[in-house]
């Protein structure tokens, strides 16, 4: 069974087609990147896959569950780490993690075990009692990702996870995302091409709601004859304009 199977997914906003008959498949445990310029349809695709927006046409199946007919079942499988840090600023780091454990219905023992595990994994021990709103951007981003991981998702959507982070914080988050490979299916959207190249098993490039290509970083570079994904991306996107 595929982690994600998208069949002709379409979303229109009045006369603009944000996502146009998108079809693709993502294997379980794969780290899959969605790339595209602004307005390419990446965020709309993720919103549909995470049941935040209803598609106009088509359907997608997450581990066999339809986003149209079984949104509650889909929500049990996924977690989303939005582009902006999605934390409750008036709560402490621990309370934020407890909030997510609570909304996923974890009992006390499981909750405490998951909080211990995630604070250790993301190095949050030193700030566990601090208010989330008082943390730096990097720490808030870590907390945001911890909140996404704590629900033990089978599929994790990471929207621009390293946006605005310094080099060290970004490198540490890359290591964390790599460590998820094989265990969790990760869908990553990013504007950093080197990030997609370093982390992804496969990359999909979108423009104007359409899928232009979907392959491994190595094959995309090979087919375009470019040395880097950034150059290959520019060539593919510009080629679609002609």
Binding site for another protein (CB under 8 A): 50-52, 54, 72, 75-76, 78-88, 90-91, 95, 98-105, 147-148, 151
Minimum CB separation from another protein for residue 88, in Å? 6
Q: What is the DSSP string of 106-167?
A: --HHHHHHHHHHHHHHTT-GGGTTSBGGGS-HHHHHHHHHHHHHTT--SEEEEESTTTT--H
Minimum CB separation from another protein for residue 198, in Å? 25
Helix (H, G, I), strand (E, B) or coil at 210: strand
Residue 113 vs residues 98, 158, 219: alpha-carbon distances, Å = 11, 24, 42
Dihedral sign of CA atoms 45, 46, 47, 53 in order = positive
Minimum CB separation from another protein for residue 148, in Å? 8
- For residues 33 and 151, which CB has a smaller minimum distance to another protein in the complex? 151
Minimum CB separation from another protein for residue 226, in Å? 34
- For residues 104 and 191, which CB has a smaller minimum distance to another protein in the complex? 104
- For residues 8 and 90, which CB has a smaller minimum distance to another protein in the complex? 90
| Residue partners of 1: CB distance under 8 A and separation at least 6 | 28, 63, 64
- For residues 103 and 168, which CB has a smaller minimum distance to another protein in the complex? 103
Minimum CB separation from another protein for residue 34, in Å? 17
Q: Measured between alpha carbons, how far is 28 from 181 in angstroms, rounded to an integer?
A: 10
The β-bridge partners of 185 are: 155
- For residues 25 and 104, which CB has a smaller minimum distance to another protein in the complex? 104
């Amino acid at each position: 069974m595929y982690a994600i199977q998208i069949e002709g997914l379409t979303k229109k906003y009045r006369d603009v087609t944000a996502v146009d008959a998108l079809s693709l498949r993502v294997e379980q445990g794969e780290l899959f990147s969605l790339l595209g310029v602004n307005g390419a349809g990446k965020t709309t695709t993720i919103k549909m896959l995470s049941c935040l927006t209803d598609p106009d046409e088509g359907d997608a199946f997450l581990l066999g569950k339809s986003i149209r007919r079984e949104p509650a079942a889909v929500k049990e499988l996924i977690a989303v780490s939005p582009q902006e840090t999605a934390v409750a600023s008036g709560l402490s780091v621990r309370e934020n993690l407890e909030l997510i454990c609570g909304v996923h219905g974890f009992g006390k023992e499981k909750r405490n075990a998951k909080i211990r595990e995630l604070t250790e994994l993301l190095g949050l021990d030193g700030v566990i009692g601090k208010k989330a709103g008082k943390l730096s951007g990097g720490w808030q981003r870590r907390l945001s990702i911890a909140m996404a991981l704590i629900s033990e998702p089978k599929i994790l959507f990471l929207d621009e996870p390293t946006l605005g982070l310094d080099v060290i914080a970004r490198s540490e988050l890359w290591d964390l995302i790599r460590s998820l490979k094989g265990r969790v299916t990760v869908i990553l959207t990013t504007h950093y091409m080197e990030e997609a190249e370093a982390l992804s098993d496969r990359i999909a490039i979108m423009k104007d709601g359409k899928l232009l290509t979907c392959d491994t970083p190595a094959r995309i570079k090979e087919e375009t004859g470019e040395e880097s994904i950034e150059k290959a991306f520019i060539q593919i996107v510009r080629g679609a304009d002609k």
